[in-house]
Amino acid sequence: MPRRLFLLLSPLFFFAQTAEGATGIVVRLITGGETVESPVVATLTNADGTAHTATLVDNGEPPDVNPGDHHYSGSTMLEGESFTVSLSLGDATEEVGEVSWPTDVTARDLVITRYEGIVTLETGAGSNDMPAGQPTANGEAAPASGAEGMAPPTEGGTMARAPAVSFPDDSAASSPGEDSTLYVIGGVLLLILAAVAFLWFRPQDETEPSSARFTGSDQAHRMPEPGLLGDGTPSMTDGACVWHVDAADTDDFVGLLLGSMAAHHRVLVVSPGTAALPLVAGGPVFKMKNPRPSHVSQTLDSLARAPGLPFSIFIRATEMNPQTISEYCETLPQDAGTAILVNAEHTGPETSVRVSRESDGWSIVSGTTTVRLTMNNWGMSTAVTGTAET
């Protein structure tokens, strides 16, 4: 009888140990707008040679968030701490790097960024309050103990991870005399800071001699620039503008628009995909390696610190979805002129113009105005022909 009981309980003990050692992981692939071959499979091989595969999809089902945004997501279970990561796109498989997590992390995240052949890996850790063996999923919050008063996640969003909390050590409590000394020092420093601020911002006395007076921005305003392609066309001071052009005429119009921007501005270009950019004089012209809107904004701030012409932004959005285009318009600074080139119709608050090819040039409809650009031996001439028909 004891032998039978031992044989019955041994498999249960073995599987319990195996389940306890497994942890969940959410794997995401970000392509920056590039289309990849299917199926998309991420394989994590541990030090023992055991391969764990996760099929990544872009269908909006958890753990994926938005369908069609070129962000592929999937989840699986892991055993181990260190892994070799391989990525399969269709029939092609490549090893992209190695990652590791601490042993006590029970919910893991892996973000694979692949753009123009460059692959980067970023690891993260979910809430450790989740039981082992349960992967975190986007849009599904893990229960956190002791998180009283925390707001629930919004629909379609992700529960924010709980910040690290430290508690005071009773054995290292400071004496009341030390606390009062710190308060006195802090009060003196605040008084000194207030005195310096008062002297710095004190209005200048009109009776004091001053050979040069400061002219603030409230006494001057910036004049608008002329139209980018002539009278009647949008200018770089109008903010973001969407240019609609047919797919067959995209390459020719990109050269015309980019050359006009580079004539009087430095240009930051966002052009995901394999389409080649024409070389134009002026600028200079910079091309983004990573098309994320947040990275574009950070790069623009960094480049703008160097002296030179004002910056403008050119985005070739012929392969982007409307959500990504709207994210660019919301993230990029309003004072930087932005030209967004699309083939499909885009609805939004941004200024929109329609470009069409003609036998001797181009026709541009901006609002109720039609502008014709005629190419001749001396260059390009612009003529406003009148009000466009509704």
pLDDT in tens, 280-292: 888 788 888 877 8
Query: Number of H helices and number of E strands within the chain?
Result: 5, 17
If one compares 247 and 15, the residue with the highest pLDDT of the two is 247
If one compares 134 and 22, the residue with the highest pLDDT of the two is 22
d(CA 359, CA 375): 10
The secondary structure element, H or E, covering residue 338 is strand 337-342
CA distances from 238 to 223, 227, 243, 297 (A): 11, 9, 13, 18
Q: Which CATH superfamily, name and number, covers 236-387? A: P-loop containing nucleotide triphosphate hydrolases (3.40.50.300)
- pLDDT at residue number 84: 93
Least confidently predicted of 132-136, 184-188, 297-301, 342-346: 132-136
If one compares 41 and 143, the residue with the highest pLDDT of the two is 41
Domain extents for the chain? Answer: 21-125, 236-387
Do 21-125 and 236-387 fold alike per CATH? no
- pLDDT at residue number 233: 79
User: Which of 152-166, 189-203, 287-301 reaches the highest mean pLDDT?
Assistant: 189-203
If one compares 114 and 173, the residue with the highest pLDDT of the two is 114
pLDDT band at 167 (very low <50, low <70, confident <90, very high): very low
**What integer is the mean pLDDT of 261-269?**
87
Contact 45, 57 (CB under 8 A): no
What are residue 94's DSSP bridge partners? 87
Q: Mention every residue, 6+ apart, whose C-beta is less than 8 A from residue 257.
A: 228, 229, 243, 314, 339, 341
- pLDDT at residue number 45: 93
**What integer is the mean pLDDT of 90-98?**
87
d(CA 35, CA 56): 14
In CATH, what class is 21-125?
Answer: mainly beta
Question: Is residue 58 packed enough to be buried (19+ CB in 10 Å), middle (13-18) or exposed (0-12)?
Answer: buried
- pLDDT at residue number 127: 52
Least confidently predicted of 57-66, 88-97, 281-290, 325-334: 325-334
